[in-house]
Amino acid sequence: MKLGKRASLLILPVLMLGYLLAFAGVYQSQRASLISAERLLVELQLAELADSLGYYGNLARNYLFLFSNSHSFFSLLDAEDEAYRAMAIDGSLEDVIASLGLLDGDLSVEVVNASGAVEYAYHRGDDPFVETGGAEADVVAAMLRDGVYQRSLVTGLRDARVVEVRIVDRHTLQPPVNPDSADTVAVIVQVAASRFQERIRQLADARRQVSWLAEAAASSAEPGISQTRAVGPYGALRLEIPASVIDGKLAGSRAVLAFACVLLTAMSYIVLTLLIRRYITLPIRRLEHDLSSFSSEGRGQIHVRETDDEIGKLSKKFASLYEDLRKSYQIAREMAERDGLTRLYNRRMFNHLIERNLERARAAGSKVALLYIDVDNFKYINDKFGHGVGDELLRTFADRMVEVLRPGDPIFCGRSENCSARLAGDEFAVILYGYEDNDVPRRVAERLLSVCDSAYLTQSARVSVSLSIGVACYPQDADNPTELISSADSAMYQAKNAGKSQYSFFSRELAENARRVVEIEARLKKLNYSELSLKYMPIFEAGSGRVAGFEALLRWDSASLGQVSPDEFIPVAESIGAFRELDRWVITHASDDLPLLQEHYGPEIRVSVNISSAELDSQEFLDEITIMVRHGFIRPEFMDLEITEAFHVNQCHDSESILAKLRALGFSISIDDFGTGFTSLVQLVEYEIDKIKLDRTFVEKVLARERVEVIASLVKFCASQRFAVIAEGVETPQQAGNLRAAGCDFLQGYYFLEPVGLEQLIAPECIQRLQAYRQDSAPELRAPARRPASMARLAHPA
Amino acid sequence: MTPFRIALSILLVLPLRVAANSLTLFTWEEYLADEVVSAWERDSGIAIEPVYYDGDEKREAVLAATGGRGFDLVVVDAIAARVLARNGVLAPIPAHAVANRSHLDARWRDSCGPDAVPYFWGAVGIAYRIDRVASAPDSWQALLQPAPQHRRRVVMHEDGIDLLLPALLSLGYDFDTEDRRELRQAYEVLKRQESDVLSYDYILTLARQKSQRERVDMALAYSGDQFVLNELSESAQWDFAVPREGTAIWMDCLAVLGRSHKIDAALRFIDFLTEPANAAANARALRVATPNASALAMLDPDMLEDRGVYPDAGILDRSRGYRAHSDRNIRLRSRIVKAVIEHHEAR
């Protein structure tokens, strides 16, 4: 139930009860005053009536006195002839009567003798034809019987007349001595109490009841108001207001009061309801409305009411509560959306943002660029300086990045937006939206690179970092978020491959490469081994110039992809775990070819196979190879296992033990590509290895700078460790000579022979040619071989 | 002055008069020619002291109040003469006492009863202003429903018989009727007429006041009154008409009061007045019709031709004298008159 309604429901009964009691009180007092007023009125009216009747009584007595003392009355009593009386005396008597002249109503005077005959009758009234006479004969008779000679009476209320009767002796005009005398005459004067009558009629109209009591009786206790009053010698009057009249008046009063009560209740109710609504429920509802609008919209503001009442306080309380909630919400949101370290958007938000921006761009026909940023060598920095410094570095970088990506910066040219995110440890991304100029992404990338121009000064170290940035743009480079991200990622890898502090735009070529990698991966997964073949490259003993062995090189001539170089497919094979099958295949086939090679090049001929360094991670390889050795499929004493130096350092203990076990089986272990990787000297000391193969580029650079003594000392170091040294990439006779002079044990390179298949290798011309490199052979006969770029075994990324 | 007061004042002054050597005559005004009085006083040495009344009821009231004491002679109408005589108010007139009775017209000779002698007779009619009333009123309606220009210019006479007379006659009833229904109708007529009436005083009494006299166009009057009015107004504006519905012929009588101490002188005065020459002189002076046959012969023919004095035979045929009324009738009529006058006074 709403507050307003509840207030209304509470007010109404209280109001009703209150007014009901008040009006009941008013009614009671009205009733009391009405009754007392009516009582007073009755008293007054009764007094008035009595006075009026008294007046007529006096009048009647006056008439009687005047009449009975007039000369004409004597004449009347003297005269006996009726005609004479009528003609001569009546007129005089009438004059006597008329002379008093006080009366406005009917008057009659009669003279009745002892025998009851009317001797004189006078009547005055409106109608001269009214005959009177003989009235009150019984009264006269009763008076004579009782010996009463003077009497006053009132005839009643219906025809109110005051009657005065006087009985005298005809001759003496005194009260008769003997009531039975024939000479008595009664003079009867009747006065119509017209005003009294009129008053009674008025009172009757006013619903009062007037009654005439011959004797003054005690007033009886009846409902209503009643009073009795004695009137002179005549009797008593009673005036009464029936209870019904009082009730009627009170009913009217009740109706008015009830109406007023209802009206006042209704009006008070309306006013109170309005006031409560205006000053209590409305502010609350407004507050509630404010609150509900936040909850639904999440934004808005509480109108803090500056009143000192509870609602003001409540609204302040709510406002502060809301502020707390809003802060909490923002913190939570930031935690959900932002990276804790850099305050940039996190990967989840980044995914969302890129989706959203692409949708917007699709709808608006605008452009989006994604810059994928990788901090070069961050892992190294972390390792070197510790995580604290790494984190600080990332944070500083993020701050600088945000700073250079300020919206409104001239590089953005107009209404463009951007947002930056941290995707993983050292990976960042910037989304650019709404730019016009296609050059903007490039400018941004350059600006970002410039951020790292100066070294980062952290609390504990001065660190130089560089970035690799890949850029992909919508709509030209990708159509959906996944594609855009992968395109930028690809571009970033390209940049990274191109060296430090580079940015790279995604290109068709890049896409092509990427697709080719995917293709290779797919083909490798269901490899047709018939497409594989082995080519061999001779390794010469530096001192003698004899062929000491061959390095078996895997070739893949795919039906769908054509020639796929190992640089391309070996990393893919390693990434999908297909390397083991390949290694098995190489080892098996090299072992199979070995007898034939020994047959043609001598029984001491060895074969080298490259195995993936990942083989050193598991016992499995060791077990398999052990079985193959035990069964005589492989002859380890003629086999070198070449491992790139870039094997996983952190697993060096397992690798070491596996290397040791392989050696124990009879294999020689070579470290391949030495000079460009990160193989530490400690490893060289600790590992059970037999040979070191100097990397082709290393050899090339050293020789190009005529620093052959580097190689010499390296060879000395290896000799001290009893490692044999093989120099790869020998391309010229000078190189061969220099390397020989530097003390290298073995030489290998295109100078001698490009890799060739087994068939070709055992052909007599080839055998002949290789034997020509013996120290005694003429050097001019050595024909240099062209070497394809793709043969660079170490070119693939780590 | 109310009649009652008149009576009281008369009672007070009477003792002074009694002692004088004179006869007190209770009569209408202008009802005894001065030359006739002079002749009597010269002959007899007894003065005539007139006391006037202006209405029958008033006269009766005074006589009843005094019993006739203080008066020697009275002029009284024929009906009253009989009632008064019966009640001993009048002194009996011995057969020989008024010898001139023999000159009276046989038609009137006994109309006053044994104890009174006919004096004058006349008709009840309408006295009117010649200059204001276009033609002589020939109907009682002229009086009862006066033309607009005469409203409030009509005077009636407060008299139990004569006031009702025009109404009863115009209704076609007997003016002496005792029929209550007829009387009631007459009463209604009078009530209707009341608003047009200037006064109910006898015209001759009213005419004493010049201002009132001038306001009167018509009046209920007795034949002969027109001459008094002309005299009072010193003009010849007034004339007298008897309506065609007929009228009452009145007879006034001379009587001696029983309580008079000068009954003989009084009887002699009556005889004197009945003597034809005196009667003729009296009638000539007063221009009232005399019942005296011998006197009639002495009068001028033009006077006899005057219809205002002697109504023509046709009207007389339709007219007659008054009859005596019962006491009830007297009382009822008295009340009717009073009621009409009360109505008038209430206005």
| Tokens, residue B16 | 């002074």
- The residues, any chain, with a CB within 8 Å of residue A316's CB and separated by 6 or more, are A304, A305
**Contact with chain B for residue A304, Cβ under 8 A:** no
In 3D space, the residue among A755, A747, A750 whose CA is nearest the CA of residue A775 turns out to be: A747
| Tokens, residue A559 | 């039906």
The average pLDDT across B193-209 equals: 92
Choice between A1 and B5, residue whose per-residue pLDDT is larger: A1
For A785, the 3-state DSSP assignment is coil
The average pLDDT across B101-109 equals: 89
**Contact with chain B for residue A626, Cβ under 8 A:** no
Flag if A91 and B60 touch (Cβ within 8 Å): yes
Say how far apart CA A392 and CA A192 lie, in whole Å. 133
| Tokens, residue A104 | 């406005």
Which residues 207-226 on chain B approach chain A with CB closer than 8 angstroms?
A: none
**Alpha carbon distances (Å) from A234 to A56, A134, A209:** 11, 21, 19
What parts of chain A have a pLDDT lower than 50? 648-651, 777-798
**Contact with chain B for residue A83, Cβ under 8 A:** yes
Flag if B65 and A128 touch (Cβ within 8 Å): no
Backbone angles phi, psi at A48, to 5 degrees: -65, -45
Flag if A83 and B7 touch (Cβ within 8 Å): no
CB pairs under 8 A between A and B: 92
Instruction: Check if the beta carbon of residue A731 is closer than 8 Å to that of residue A750.
Output: yes
**Alpha carbon distances (Å) from A303 to A195, A297, B90:** 83, 16, 128
At B219-263, the pLDDT tens digits run 999 988 998 899 888 988 999 998 988 899 999 999 999 999 999
Where do the DSSP E strands lie in B114-237? 117-129, 154-155, 197-199, 218-222
**Contact with chain A for residue B60, Cβ under 8 A:** yes
In 3D space, the residue among A514, A503, A530, A647 whose CA is nearest the CA of residue A572 turns out to be: A514
- The residues, any chain, with a CB within 8 Å of residue A263's CB and separated by 6 or more, are none
**What is the DSSP secondary-structure string of A484-535?**
HHHHHHHHHHHHHHT-SSEEEE--HHHHHHHHHHHHHHHHHHT--GGGEEEE
Q: Which residues of chain A does B184 touch, with a Cβ-Cβ cutoff of 8 Å? A: 129
**Cα A773 from chain centroid (whole Å):** 87
Flag if A89 and B334 touch (Cβ within 8 Å): no
Q: Which of A80, A95, A127 faces B61 most closely, judged by CB atoms?
A: A95
**Cα A709 from chain centroid (whole Å):** 77
Please, which residues bridge with residue B28 across strands? B53
Q: Give the global pTM.
A: 0.49
**Contact with chain B for residue A261, Cβ under 8 A:** no
| Tokens, residue B254 | 């001379």
Running DSSP on this structure, what letter comes out for residue B158?
-
Q: Which of A84, A99, A128 faces B339 most closely, judged by CB atoms?
A: A128
Say how far apart CA B142 and CA B36 lie, in whole Å. 37
| Tokens, residue A281 | 């429920």
In 3D space, the residue among A358, A390, A355 whose CA is nearest the CA of residue A375 turns out to be: A390
| Tokens, residue A607 | 């074969």
- The residues, any chain, with a CB within 8 Å of residue B50's CB and separated by 6 or more, are B24, B25, B27, B32
Say how far apart CA A567 and CA A657 lie, in whole Å. 28
**Contact with chain B for residue A132, Cβ under 8 A:** no
For A595, the 3-state DSSP assignment is helix
**Contact with chain A for residue B61, Cβ under 8 A:** yes
Which residues 98-127 on chain A approach chain B with CB closer than 8 angstroms?
A: 98-99, 121, 123-124, 126-127
Question: How many Cβ atoms from other residues are within 10 Å of residue B308's Cβ?
Answer: 22
Q: Which of B65, B86, B330 faces A86 most closely, judged by CB atoms?
A: B330
At A286-300, the pLDDT tens digits run 777 777 776 555 555
Please, which residues bridge with residue A118 across strands? A112
Q: How many residues does chain B have?
A: 347
Q: Which residues of chain B does A72 touch, with a Cβ-Cβ cutoff of 8 Å? A: 64-65
- The residues, any chain, with a CB within 8 Å of residue A602's CB and separated by 6 or more, are A547
Q: Scanning every residue of chain A, which has its alpha carbon at the shortest distance from the alpha carbon of B337? A: A128
Instruction: Check if the beta carbon of residue B144 is closer than 8 Å to that of residue B170.
Output: yes
Please, which residues bridge with residue B125 across strands? B221
Classify the C-alpha dihedral A113-A117-A119-A120 as positive or negative.
positive
- The residues, any chain, with a CB within 8 Å of residue A694's CB and separated by 6 or more, are A674, A675, A711, A714, A725, A726, A727, A728, A744
Q: Which residues of chain B does A100 touch, with a Cβ-Cβ cutoff of 8 Å? A: none
* Closest approach of A166 to chain B, Cα-based (Å): 23
Q: Which of A75, A86, A128 faces B336 most closely, judged by CB atoms?
A: A128
The average pLDDT across B269-277 equals: 94
For A430, the 3-state DSSP assignment is strand
Q: Which residues of chain A does B339 touch, with a Cβ-Cβ cutoff of 8 Å? A: 126-128
Q: Which residues of chain A does B334 touch, with a Cβ-Cβ cutoff of 8 Å? A: 86, 90-91, 94
Flag if A86 and B328 touch (Cβ within 8 Å): yes
Choice between A537 and B20, residue whose per-residue pLDDT is larger: A537
Q: What angle do CA A348, A354, A355 make, to 5 degrees?
A: 90
Say how far apart CA B299 and CA B160 lie, in whole Å. 34
- The residues, any chain, with a CB within 8 Å of residue A115's CB and separated by 6 or more, are A182
Running DSSP on this structure, what letter comes out for residue B238?
E
Which residues 52-81 on chain A approach chain B with CB closer than 8 angstroms?
A: 71-72, 75, 79-81
| Tokens, residue B87 | 């009640």
Flag if B4 and A87 touch (Cβ within 8 Å): no
Q: Which of A81, A92, A95 faces B87 most closely, judged by CB atoms?
A: A81
* Closest approach of A73 to chain B, Cα-based (Å): 9
Residue of A66, A67, A84 to mutate, testing the B interface (most B Cβ within 10 Å of its Cβ): A84
Q: Which residues of chain A does B328 touch, with a Cβ-Cβ cutoff of 8 Å? A: 86
- Give, for A68, the enclosing helix (H) or strand (E): helix A3-68
In 3D space, the residue among A538, A490, A533 whose CA is nearest the CA of residue A510 turns out to be: A490
**Contact with chain A for residue B65, Cβ under 8 A:** yes
Residue of B12, B14, B330 to mutate, testing the A interface (most A Cβ within 10 Å of its Cβ): B330
Say how far apart CA B26 and CA A729 lie, in whole Å. 202
Choice between A464 and B119, residue whose per-residue pLDDT is larger: B119
* A720, amino acid identity: S
At A579-621, the pLDDT tens digits run 888 888 999 999 999 998 898 888 889 999 988 877 777 788 8
Q: Scanning every residue of chain B, which has its alpha carbon at the shortest distance from the alpha carbon of A124? A: B335
Q: How many residues does chain A have?
A: 798
